[in-house]
Structure 1
Amino acid sequence: MAQGSPQAVSPSARWALLFGNFAIGCGVMVVGGSLNDLTRSLQVSVAVAGQLITVAAVMMCLGAPLLAAALTRWDRRKLLALALAWYAAGHALCALMPDYAALMPLRALTVLSAAVFTPQAGAAMGWLAPPEQRGRAITFVFLGWSVASVVGMPLHSYIGETWGWRSAFGLVAVLAAVGAAWVWQALPEGIRPPPMNRQAWREVFSHPRLMRIVAVTALAGAGQFTLFAYIAPYLRQGLKAQAPEISLVFACFGTLGLIGNLWLSQRVDKLGAARAVGWLLALQCLSMALWPLGGSVVVLLVVVVPWALSGFACTSAQQARLATAAPALAPALLAMNTSAIYLGQALGAAGGGLMMTANMAAGRDTFMGLSVLALGWTLLALWLSHRVRQEGLRAKG
């Protein structure tokens, strides 16, 4: 199969990979969406339950580059289908776990498949698509994460509040199983991007500009998950919201995220991924700076609009930025970027959990502190992104 052939990427393959990312996104978000019932059912604190997010993020952070190196010669059709099958089985078993101590290690093993699927789906699409369509093709695949935030996050929240977290995990298992079958049916055999040898990995790690771009992803993720990981308990305990209101917040956030990602996917090649990242990070900073004004569910919905529009789009833009910066190194770079996404999630969730533990509550005062921490992370990401872009412009000049 030749690289860069427009006929090589069928619509069915694109949609199958998008759905696979949808299932992956639903699984990553299931803890945050059902966090209230997890704390009640397993009889642990919000901060302790939130560490399920941190541990999973650490596993995905470490797993993405290591598994990318170990599985570099696998046919991507087989690799991606097996990753989703593992994800389905893991979430089904998680739903059966009797307590927190049993759930934690199984959750950590389950999410390793997310560390495989997301970067390798992007790398496969980048390898198949012609150069002039590469950015659009990659961002299309990552729309699955935005759809997960629209459908999955509010659905997890509603299911968790109504039928319990085990049902939410069971839903993820079903979605992943469907995704595995679809990917196996839709993708052709022989999708084998050039294997990454040790020299290629050394080139990735020793390239300062590429590593700084990856660092932007980690900083931005830390900013988002400092707040996002604990929104459900904040709405319940801080704003006294009920299950329908919590689901509404997640649905609005996700819908706006999908709109932002759709807008980006149509314009990223023309606008330039690096410029897009700067604008998207600035929008996130705006929401985090305005967070203290969100004293009710209605006002909070208004405050998060800029963040919701830009959050998932920023991640997609970073993927496109790396894939176009060094196409030959795309499998390793996208694995590193996926690692950075989850490193950011781990930093954000862990930092937020420590702050909540110190304050022994999930009330408004605690979240004001979280918003300041989130803003600090995101401003740092914005500064670094601008610096890297200026370096690139000077190099071209």
Structure 2
Amino acid sequence: MSTASPAVHGLGDLSTKLAVFAMSIGAFGIGTGEFAIMGLLPNLAADMRITEPEAGHVISAYALGVVVGAPLFAIAFARAPRKPLMLWLMALFALGNFGSAMAPDYLSLIGLRFLAGLPHGAYFGIAALIAASMVDVGYRARAVGRVMLGLTIATLIGMPLATWLGQGLGWRPTFAGVGIVGALAFAMIFRFVPQVAASEGASPLRELGALKRPQVWLTLGIAAVGCGGMFSVFTYVVPLLTEVAHVPVVWVPLVLALFGVGMTLGNILGAAMADRALMPTIGGMLVFNVVSLAAIPWTAQFWATASLSVLLVGFTVAIGTALQTRLMDVAADGQTLAATLHHAAFNIGNALGALFGGMAIAAGFGWTSTGPVGAILAVGGLVLFGISLWLDRRTQRWEPLEAAPKAA
């Protein structure tokens, strides 16, 4: 499928805004579907007559789908035009959620959540490449950030709304509602996103070539290790607030909303910073992560400072768009695989943060220990970042590549 290469531009063009907004709606649906179930585990466990830890496997099944699906779709459909591929991914996500709403038993629900998770990483990777292809190089991070804004708004609005719906009507209508958002995103992508061909000469073997590049692995490592600290704290943030800061339970949702506010601000400001100075933004945000997370044992002692910490931990997501843009620069001809693996790496960070944070709590170090654990992970990310800089200087300064074939 051949497409013309139009002139690129900034984010002020109406057609670009509509296309990015359509992809952001898909991101909103995916983010809501991923996070909403966390607040509905007791409802799900009671309805399915299982324990809450067993209900938690539903979340694990979705995360496994993300990790498996990201490289699978990128390699298998390397030659596919990007808009049809995105439509298929969104259709699979919507069907997986409609199916989850109708799951007759626990095992089928596990399978359907795995199915719904498969398109997650690939969708974000393809959306990032399409968004970056529609603008000048100096606007790439901001275009990607606008798409990811749907994900951050999902934590601010979508997750509380879905949780409220689920607590009132049950978990099945929640999944059905997410499926409806997926169907809406499908229609908007079909209408507003332009046709974008795969890269000339694209093939599964060429995509796999990205894995031969040390800078790709280092960037993915920064996402998996350096960003794990956010998840270390957020996984256990409710008992941190109620048992350490003594925030009344009735106020916890309001404080948690600050996490979504922080993520939204981080997404917007981080994207703008990345367009101006990519590597300094990555390094600076890692340092910010270390400081904000290491301060948790002190800031968590009081309402006001604990609330501020929740907002600052959410702001650490600012590094995400910068890392996505970095992958576009270092992946050469394997950008689709690298872009999709970015979100798989974040899910690995989710697992690492929750695991090590839980180990520290179980060892008797208390709820505040999740902050220093997260800071240690961020230091690990800084080490990988330093190695990446060293390789850059050793080999030659890399030049930014075009993020993707231009949209038609």
TM-score for both structures, normalised by structure 1? 0.86
* Matched residue SS, 1:111: helix
- Paired residue type of 2:389: R
Please say if residues 214 and 340 of structure 1, whose CA atoms lie closer than 8 Å, have aligned partners that are also in contact: yes
Q: Does 1:268 align with 2:263?
A: no
Are residues 296 and 58 of structure 1, via their aligned partners in 2, closer, same or farther at CA, if it must alter by over 3 Å? farther
Partner residue, 1:107: 113
Instruction: Choose from 228, 251, 268 the match for 1:222.
Output: 228
Contact 1:218–1:344 (8 Å) recurs in 2: yes
Distance 1:387 1:337, change over 3 A: same
Alignment of 1:152-167 (within 5 A): 152-167=158-173
Structure 1 distance, partners of 2:337, 2:325, is: 13
Change (3 A) 1:254 1:330: same
Per-residue deviation, residues 136-166 of structure 1 (Å, max 9, x unmatched): 3222222221222221233234344444433
Question: CA 1:297 to 1:98, structure 2 compared with 1: closer, same or farther past 3 Å?
Answer: farther
The alpha carbon displacement at 1:286 in A equals: 2.5
C-alpha contact 1:64 1:115 (8 A) present in aligned 2:
yes
In structure 2, the gaps of 5 or more residues are: 398-408
Give matches, 1:3-82, under 5 Å: 3=5, 5-6=7-8, 10-39=16-45, 41-42=47-48, 44=50, 47-82=53-88
Question: Which deviates more from structure 2 when the two are superposed, residues 1-10 or residues 205-214?
Answer: 1-10
Indicate how the Cα distance of structure 1 residues 130 and 55 shifts in structure 2: closer, same or farther if over 3 A, else same: same
1:87-126 to structure 2, matched below 5 A, reads 87-97=93-103, 99-126=105-132
Return 5+ residue gaps in structure 1 as ranges.
none
Specify the alignment match of 2:367 in structure 1: 367
**Is residue 2:283 matched to residue 1:278?**
yes
Letter of the 2:322 partner, please give it.
A
Distance in 2 of aligned mates of 1:275 and 1:44: 48
Looking at structure 1, the residues matched to 275 and 345 of structure 2 have their Cα atoms a distance apart, in angstroms, of 23
Query: 1:83/1:371 Cα in 2 relative to 1: closer, same or farther (>3 Å)?
Result: same
- Give secondary structure in 2 for the equivalent of 1:6: coil
8 Å contact 1:4–1:130 — kept in the other structure? no
In the alignment, residue 149 of structure 1 is paired with which amino acid?
Answer: T
C-alpha separation in 2, matches of 1:249 and 1:40:
27
Would you say the 8 A contact 1:38–1:165 is kept in 2?
yes
How far is the alpha carbon of 1:119 from its aligned partner?
0.8
SS state of the match for residue 10, structure 1? helix
Alignment length (residue pairs): 390
Give percent identity, aligned residues only: 25
1:325 matches 2:327: no
Helix, strand or coil at the partner of 2:78: coil
CA-CA distance at 1:232 after TM superposition: 4.7
Matched, 1:379 2:383: no
Given candidates 132, 143, 168, the residue that maps to 1:137 is: 143
1:346 aligned onto 2:351:
yes
Letter in 2 for 1:387: I
Q: How does 1:168-183 map to 2 (within 5 A)?
A: 168-183=174-189
What amino acid maps onto 1:317 in structure 2? A
Code of the aligned partner of 2:291: L
Measured against aligned partners, the alpha-carbon deviations of 1:350-378 in whole angstroms (never above 9, x if no partner) come to 5556677x57xxxx965334334333222
Separation in 2 of the partners of 1:305 and 1:64?
29
Summarize deviations over 1:300-354 as a string: whole Å, max 9, x none.
Answer: 212223221122x211111011113345432121022222122222333455566
Which residue of the partner structure matches residue 289 of structure 1? 294
Cα distance in 1 for partners of 2:165, 2:370 equals: 27
Asked if the contact 2:232/2:374 (under 8 Å) is kept, the reply is: yes
